[in-house]
Structure 1
Amino acid sequence: MLLSIALLPLLASHFWHHHFGKVATFWALAFFVPFIATHASGIVASEMTHAILLDYVPFVILLTALFTIAGGILVTGNLHGSPRLNTALLAIGTLLASVIGTTGASMVLIRPLLRANDGRRHNVHVVVFFIFLVSNIGGSLTPLGDPPLFLGYLRGVDFFWTTAHMLPEMVFAALVLLVLFWFLDSYLYKGDTDFRGVSDPTPDTPKMGISGRINFALLAVVIGAVLMSGSWKPEISVPVFGLHWEVQNIVRDLILIAAAIASLILTPDSLRKENGFEWGPMLEVGKLFAAIFITIIPVIAMLKAAENGAFAPLVALVTSPDGAPINAMYFWMTGILSSFLDNAPTYLVFFNLAGGDPVELMGPLARTLVAISCGAVFMGANSYIGNAPNFMVKAIAESAGVKMPSFFGYMAWSVGILVPVFILVTLVFFRS
């Protein structure tokens, strides 16, 4: 599945563009058919229910709600993408990501950023750094920011624990990347001198403004629904194939659906059209991640088996001979797996591997929990599939005419820029 996402857009782009849903279905069936043929029906039903009903459906509902609502917010006016403006927008988006989530912040800011830079010859790097910062690292400070931290919140980690304990790591990584971006953007901006003003598809307007303000209220509804599902514990659930579908999660998803529908009703179609809103990016994410959530079932099972499973050698790397956790390895192992698997269940596996007791992990093992959290959130930026907003931003940028790098091309950026930054994070924060 991952190789198809990586290679087919390069080797057969026309085929992939028209048939990626069929390819995803093929790989999902390639796992599901042997699975159902070789395992008891109860196991199959339980695993598929967990993957689809309890994991994928809430995931895609939250993304769709944020995508729909943020797509109804239009920043009018033509900003000009200078290094100072671009760096400021990235910094604002990085901070906003912990408030309305990496998906919400990405969807609100990506279109204004693209318009600001559509008159430049060199603009790919702007989107790449946007994915690094706004779509990933910026979501480090609250459970609203990124799904792994939300899972930790549901399991007893205090809401503001991440704010207090991950702030140094997040600020360090973000500042290093913003400085690197400013130098790179300044260099490329000078090279665009003969191009700027010649080709700018967005006409200048007298002033800046924001339309679709009702959607800010709907974003607040989404935030409230997410908080409610983590704090309200009625201990009522609907049994589904041996699993428990908790009522607070059902209520949350219904509120999110209602908020998305309200946004579609209350936001004029002309505003969405002017904003370049289209369903293509969401449909692409929905189809591909449905297959990813299914094909990831055996991988997560191997991770959960810990030292008794196929990943036992990897699991052994995070613990010293005396049983003490090796925080640097927790950071890198959680991060590397989060780069290519769903970072939420990966976070949960290492959370449980470190003991799974939130009181212990917030106390004596606080540095271990920080390492796990940073690995899951930061390294989701290492590939397009590390975090759902990455794919959405890529799709929106391509629809706006930006020639985004391929799967491996993007990884060349992340290996060249992010990996050295993460090595610095390790040396500064996780050496002991």
Structure 2
Amino acid sequence: MTLSHASTRFLRPLATAALPTLLPVTAFAADFDGGSLSPWWGLPFAGILLSIALMPLLAPSFWHHHYGKVSAAWALAFLLPFAALHGAGLAGAQLLHALLAEYIPFILLLTALFVVAGGIHIRGNLRGTPGLNTGILAIGALLASLMGTTGASMLLIRPLIRANDNRRHQVHVIVFFIFIVSNVGGSLTPLGDPPLFLGFLKGVQFFWTARNILPETLFIVGVLLALFHVLDRWYYGKEDALPFDPTPDTRGIRFEGAANFWLLGGIVFLVLLSGIWKSPVGFDLHGTELGLPGLVRDAGLIAITLLSLRITAPQVHADNQFGWAPMAEVAKLFAGIFLTIIPVIAMLKAGVHGPFGAVVSAVTRPDGQPDPAMYFWATGVLSSFLDNAPTYLVFFNTAGGDAQVLMTTHAPTLVAISAGAVFMGANTYIGNAPNLMVKAIAESRGVRMPSFFGYMMWSGAILVPLFILSTFIFFR
């Protein structure tokens, strides 16, 4: 199968799913009261999380060939009983809202960044020394807030793996890459991570995050870079005579497929435009509002994806070992996550009177004022396992939902919510979409990445103590 045929097969379902947005339909309310739900509705979501965590260990061959079917089965385990008890109309409205307002824009953005970054090849045999590896992670942390954690991850993960392809110890390099580039580095602008972009759409100023979260970000990134450099030097020293380097030596470092940098700029422009442009034109589909700016953004992302595939030389894709498997894995697993998370988010939105009222109550002090430390941990822990974008919105609304008040009177609370959502997405593979993509790419290159729980041992040993220390420094 050629790359063009593969890309067409992958993009066709997305285009087909987007067609209903152009058709007039009868409106149904896409929102419902989660306070009336039983916590048992969270079982399909717990099931898909446990499947992602355990099945690669217990049944690796079955999981590798059928993870898409498993994801679909858990989605149906929610949708079919929900339709039977609450009606097909409400279930259909929830399905359409999850697909059209959340999943499809999410996947289109990830696909565009994946394809465009995959069309840039850094030519040259970088040597994976501790100094070079630390430098790449530092550059990635900076780029993550400029081009998104997904864009920065997809741009740098391949050259980083290639630089270390003759080293016996590589896992720690990829793990710290996920910590720094795929998560913490994206905390300074709304372009960096989806939760911050949602805050931007809610009225948070574009540069507010950079002004208010910079100390926390510099602290976390600085400590992680220092820890990584020490650990990498230790592993490097243990390797003595390095094995043969499979990557041939070349003169200098140069970029191939550099036209894709302009397309990256186009992605940034479209995302920024969709947040700034206010238009009264929109469509209502079963209670889901689809505004013209979002539709223009999504159409532009599809165009950029196709243009990148068109103008990128096949040799660049071959040199990058570009393939659709990592993107397909993310698309299939997150389809199940976005659907099974529907009742969980609804129950959280029900506030103190909902099934998860204890979680919401925990973030408020006895005097009724918000507790930044508890907001940091509540947002962060849930963002480690739920999608961090809707989790951000839940606690943004719990804190009052007024961007002007949150940027001023309750600025420490908004900082805590933003930092918790972005930083703690690094705690698990499913905390942020680039985590799973980086894992898939590394495994396709022969790196034996930790299991779901194995990765959590890394994050538990390194990130959790760092977050506890940050709490005493920044969120008291």
The two structures have a TM-score, normalised by structure 2, of 0.89
C-alpha distance after superposition, 1:36-78 (max 9, x if no partner): 1111333222221221110000000000000000000000111
Cα distance in 2 between the residues matched to 1:384 and 1:85: 25
2:227 aligned to 170, 180, 185, which one? 180
Instruction: After TM superposition, list the pairs within 5 Å mapping 1:316-335 onto structure 2.
Output: 316-335=361-380
| Cα root mean square deviation, aligned | 0.7
Task: Check if 1:110 corresponds to 2:195.
Answer: no
Listed one character per residue, the Cα deviations across residues 297-344 of structure 1 (whole Å, up to 9, x for unaligned) are 110011100111111111111001111001000000000000000000
SS in 2 for 1:322: coil
2:358 match: 313
Using the TM superposition, give the Cα deviation of residue 122 of structure 1 relative to its aligned residue in structure 2, in angstroms.
0.5
CA-CA distance at 1:201 after TM superposition: 1.5
Tell me the percent identity.
Answer: 62
Task: Pick from 250, 257, 261 the counterpart of residue 302 of structure 2.
Answer: 257
Shift of 1:105: 0.1
Structure 2: where are the runs of 5+ without partners? Answer: 1-47
* Residues in 2 aligned to 1:281 and 1:148: alpha-carbon distance in whole angstroms: 23
Are 2:279 and 1:234 aligned? yes
What is the distance in 2 between the residues matched to 1:191 and 1:268?
A: 40
Q: How many pairs were matched up?
A: 429
2:332 alignment counterpart: 287
Q: How far apart are the structure 2 equivalents of 1:308 and 1:259? A: 45
Could you say what secondary structure the match of 1:245 adopts? strand
Match of 1:362 in 2: 407
For 1:276 and 1:427, how far apart are their aligned partners in 2?
44
Name the residue aligned to 1:93: 140
- Indicate the SS of the match to 2:245: coil
1:382 equivalent among 413, 421, 427? 427
Q: 2:90 corresponds to which letter in structure 1?
A: I
AA partner of residue 210 (structure 2): T
Letter in 2 for 1:295: T
Give the aligned residue type for 1:183: V
Find the aligned partners of 1:13 and 1:359 in 2 and give their Cα distance: 49
Instruction: Kindly state the Cα deviation for residue 121 of structure 1 after the two structures are TM-superposed.
Output: 0.7
Question: Match of 1:172, as an amino acid?
Answer: F
Once residues 459 and 381 of structure 2 are traced to their aligned partners in structure 1, the CA distance between those partners, rounded to angstroms, is 12
Indicate which of 25, 28, 32 corresponds to 2:79: 32
Helix, strand or coil at the partner of 1:238: strand
- Is structure 2 residue 85 aligned with structure 1 residue 20? no
Mean alpha-carbon deviation: is it higher for 306-315 or for 132-141? 306-315
Q: Give the letter aligned to residue 134 of structure 1.
A: V
Q: Say whether residues 1:336 and 2:387 are aligned partners.
A: no
Give the Cα separation in 2 of the matches to 1:266 and 1:309. 52
Cα distance in 2, alignment partners of residues 392 and 199 from structure 1 = 28
2:175 is equivalent to residue 128 of structure 1: yes
The 3-state SS of whatever aligns with 1:207 is coil
Query: Partners of 1:422 and 1:113 in 2: how far apart?
Result: 26
Match for residue 298 of structure 1 among 337, 343, 348: 343
In the superposition, the TM-score normalised over structure 1's length comes to 0.99
Letter aligned with residue 220 of structure 1: G
**Out of 236, 242, 266, which is 2:311 matched to?**
266
Is the aligned partner of 1:420 residue 2:465?
A: yes
Query: What is the distance in 1 between the residues matched to 2:129 and 2:371?
Result: 43
How far is 1:236 from its partner? Answer: 1.5
**Structure 1 segment 132-171 matched on structure 2, within 5 A:** 132-171=179-218
AA in 2 matched with 1:200:
D
Amino acid at match of 2:125: N
The amino acid of 2:336's aligned partner reads A
Q: Cα offset for 1:400?
A: 0.5
Distance of 1:243 and 1:216 partners within structure 2: 34
Return the alpha-carbon distance in structure 2 between the equivalents of residues 236 and 360 of structure 1. Answer: 29
Q: Could you list the runs of 5+ residues in structure 1 that have no partner in the other structure? A: none
* Aligned equivalent of 1:214: 259
**1:235, 1:292 → 2: CA distance?**
32
